[in-house]
Amino acid sequence: MIKKQDVFEQALAQLEEALSGMRIEKGIARQLKTPQRVIEVSFPLKKDSGEVELIQGFRVQHNNARGPYKGGLRYHPQVTLEEVKALAMWMTWKTAVVDVPFGGGKGGLVIDPKTLSRPERARLTQSFARTIHEVVGPRIDVPAPDVNTTGEEMVWFRTVWAKLHPEEEHPDAVITGKPIQEGGSEGRTEATGEGGVATLDALRDAIRLPKKFTVSLQGLGNVGSYFARGVEKIGGTIVAVGDSHGAITNPQGLNIHKLLEYKRIHKTIVGFEGSKKISVDELLEGPFDVVVPAALEGAIDASRARILRSPIILELANGPTLPEADQILSKRGVIVIPDILANAGGVAVSYFEWYQNMHALRWESEVVRRRLRTLMRSAAATVFERARRDQTTLRTGALRVAVERVARALERKS
């Protein structure tokens, strides 16, 4: 993984590349490069032992020209402000690419939640909610899950926020990614992974994806696991998988349902029946039809880009490809389906959840899934067309679509 302080530079470099072929007024460009608000917090967490730990964290609100800030909450020991700033900026582009009326934001706490008990995780999230409650809200800033946070954290957050804001008519809409029985939407948990499948399927002719194709997947968390389940339905076979404990392969195909069950019991994928252990290099550089980074940033650096043998990369993680690697891949003719398109299914269904909460509606699973597929297909077609017209990579095409929409909204406001 790359040094975290470089991640915001990575986001800026991508933006510069997109802006270089556009006519965007200087003042607007400066606004696009700069978060509107950066909130740094620290608060005490009482551990079960009675000991008190000081927790540090951030909420970055990058841009709200197109609607309330929107973006996940990440709990990870290596979270940095630079990283959260980059992730917030990417959210602005993502909501614009799929054309949902949100802006971009992101939050993070510097903590390894795996070292905490469930009551400690509850107190952590409740304190975070109390600390930032004034700067979030259904029409202000709407968080969601990200790495190491799930529906459980969303409910703890929502409950504290709702108590502090009795005036709010639709308190459930303060956060998305809630479990269905707690005001969540059908299809939200699966949305990012399934949206990735829909994107790949929508682009399959354009990128010459074979009817039957092999996939190597890094990350088998929320995003990776639903992608793995869904990709089989469009002709994909997962032949390699990696997570934070290691990587495995089976050229005949890994049975994902059994693998997920194995992981649930053994907490690792290593040792799964019929599989062979491989290195991270083999996982990401091997001769697969599609490589899918679905873990953390920086998985594909320049040296990896020079030697990897897959013709297609589907970015389900945020920021897995470094700018220098991007250039090398583009020269080598490797197609990168960029994060701001490929993993936008999550924020799309987050919008559906927020909309249902704001209108006291409940959509059936099939309605959500159909709307998600339509939205992803339309976004993929728009991005592909823009990249073809401008003769750019899909990333720059996607960024130009997004930047144009955000810039237009900023102009209307000025």
The binding site for ligand NAD (CB under 6 A) comprises 1, 145-148, 192, 218-224, 242-244, 294-296, 316-318, 343, 346
Judge whether 231 and 197 are in contact, CB under 8 Å: yes
Nearer to ligand NAD, 31 or 222 (CB): 222
Task: Please tell me which residue in 70, 85, 106, 178 is annotated as part of the active site.
Answer: 106
Q: Nearest approach, Cβ of 318 to ligand NAD (angstroms)?
A: 4
The owner of tokens 């040296």 is 303
Q: How far is the CB of 30 from ligand NAD (least distance, A)?
A: 26
Residue type, 231: V
| Least spacing, CB of residue 191 vs ligand NAD, in Å | 7
Q: Which is nearer to ligand NAD, 61 or 189 (CB)?
A: 189
Q: Which is nearer to ligand NAD, 92 or 148 (CB)?
A: 148
Q: How far is the CB of 182 from ligand NAD (least distance, A)?
A: 17
Query: Which CB atom, from 19 or from 399, has the smaller least distance to ligand NAD?
Result: 399
Helix (H, G, I), strand (E, B) or coil at 316: coil
CB of 96 to ligand NAD, least distance (A): 15
> Which of 84/329 has CB closer to ligand NAD?
84
Q: Give me the least distance between CB of 86 and ligand NAD, in Å please.
A: 11
Instruction: Name the 3-class secondary structure at 128.
Output: helix
Point out the residue whose Cβ comes nearest to ligand NAD. Answer: 221
In order of 60, 141, 146, 320, the CA distances from 124 in angstroms are 19, 20, 16, 28
Cα→Cα distances 410→17, 103, 141, 144, 405, Å: 20, 11, 17, 24, 9
Give ∠ CA 15-21-24 in degrees, rounded to 5. 70
Judged by CB, which is closer to ligand NAD: 70, or 386? 70
Tell me whether residue 28 or residue 59 sits nearer to ligand NAD (CB atom): 59
Min. distance of Cβ 338 from ligand NAD in angstroms?
A: 12
Cross-sheet strand order for the sheet of 52-63 = 37-46, 52-63, 104-110, 69-76, 141-145
47 included as an active-site residue: no
Cross-strand pairs, 142: 70
What residues are annotated to the active site? Answer: 106
